[in-house]
Amino acid sequence: MSKYQFSDAERYAVYSVHGQTCYLCGQPISLNSIHVDHILPEKLLDAPEELSQALSSLGLGSEFYLNSFENWMPACSSCNLKKRAAIFEPTPMMQLVLQRTVKLADLARRKAAEVVTERQLSRALNTIMRAKDLPEISEIQRDTIFKIAERFASDAQEIKKFRIENPSSDDDRIFTKTAPSFHATQLHTVVFESGAMRMVKAPHGIGFQPSDPNPHSSFYCGHCGQLGPWQGAKCMTCGYLDDGD
């Protein structure tokens, strides 16, 4: 049986949702060093009877899927290599771990999908925007590029709206800040502006922000207070990665 290959979005979701620490030893881990551990090992997929027994002993139904967020937790390399394919005893502590993992599985799925969406939008739009100033680009093609950019801004706003309307059970943030108007400074250069969005060059690169004079406060960086500009979930003014937590 081939080993499951985690996507970057899945690794990030497991890492951020479960507190950025190893679930076995409790030590902090980095996103670069994280091992995503199967609580119930993948080897059980090749041993149906053993899998059924393990699920029953842990109080899990037959529909429990091993390659899912319900069964993934962040671990440090040391703990994961020690654990390998061991099957945990059905202790109260292990029951609590599984309860937490199952409870947060849907949040992890949303976070993974959100990361993929923003990443795909950013990469695609950056590729298109690099082409807009080529001499062979016609006015019709350039107009199409601007329409795509406007769509990007709309999709980015929907993502931010989703974060606010669908907070996790542990998220008690309330967005009540009045959003100030955007003022270009020596740190920012507006590359172009069209309709609902503008493209801005900042210290950490080029990103996008809404042209609305009164954008929702969620568009403002929680670290530096600036209106981005954003490249995916990263503020291009200060470099802060807003993971939504």
Q: What's at 184, amino acid-wise?
A: A
pLDDT of residue 112: 87
Q: What is the mean pLDDT of residues 95-123?
A: 81
Q: What is the mean pLDDT of residues 60-89?
A: 90
pLDDT of residue 84: 82
Apex 103 CA angle, 85 and 25, nearest 5: 45
pLDDT of residue 228: 82
Which residues have C-beta within 8 Å of that of residue 29, sequence separation ≥ 6?
A: 15, 20, 21, 22, 74, 75, 76
CA atoms within 13 A on the CB side of 180: 8
Q: What is the mean pLDDT of residues 110-115?
A: 82
Q: What is the mean pLDDT of residues 109-134?
A: 68
pLDDT of residue 129: 63
pLDDT of residue 165: 55
pLDDT of residue 125: 63
CATH of domain 8-105: 1.10.30
Of the candidate ranges 4-13, 76-85, 172-181, the one whose mean pLDDT is the lowest = 172-181
Residue 48 clears pLDDT 50, i.e. is over it: yes
Apex 228 CA angle, 223 and 230, nearest 5: 115
Residue 64: which region, alpha, beta or left (left: phi > 0; alpha: psi -120 to 50)? beta
Element (H, E) at 13: helix 8-17
**CA–CA dist 163, 166 (Å, integer):** 5
Element (H, E) at 201: strand 197-202
Task: Indicate the Cα dihedral angle 136, 141, 147, 148, nearest 10°.
Answer: -70
pLDDT tens digit string along 168-179?
A: 434 333 222 333
Q: Provide the pLDDT confidence category of residue 104 given band limits of 50, 70 and 90.
A: very high
Q: What is the mean pLDDT of residues 40-62?
A: 90
Q: Provide the mean pLDDT of the chain.
A: 76
**For residue 220, with 0-12 CB atoms within 10 Å meaning exposed, 13-18 middle and 19 or more buried, which class applies?**
buried
- Per DSSP, 215 falls in state -
Q: What is the mean pLDDT of residues 74-86?
A: 88
SS3 241: strand
pLDDT of residue 64: 92
Specify the higher pLDDT residue, 101 or 228: 101
Domain boundaries, the chain: 8-105, 132-245
pLDDT tens digit string along 181-200?
A: 444 556 788 776 655 677 88
**CA–CA dist 41, 47 (Å, integer):** 11
Residue 232 clears pLDDT 60, i.e. is over it: yes
- The closest alpha carbon to 119, from 8, 2, 20, 25, belongs to 8
* CB distance 182 to 209 below 8 Å: yes
Two structure tokens written together for 212: 């609305």
Of the candidate ranges 6-10, 32-36, 165-169, 225-229, the one whose mean pLDDT is the lowest = 165-169
Residue 121 clears pLDDT 70, i.e. is over it: no
Percentage of the chain beyond pLDDT 70 is 68
pLDDT of residue 148: 62
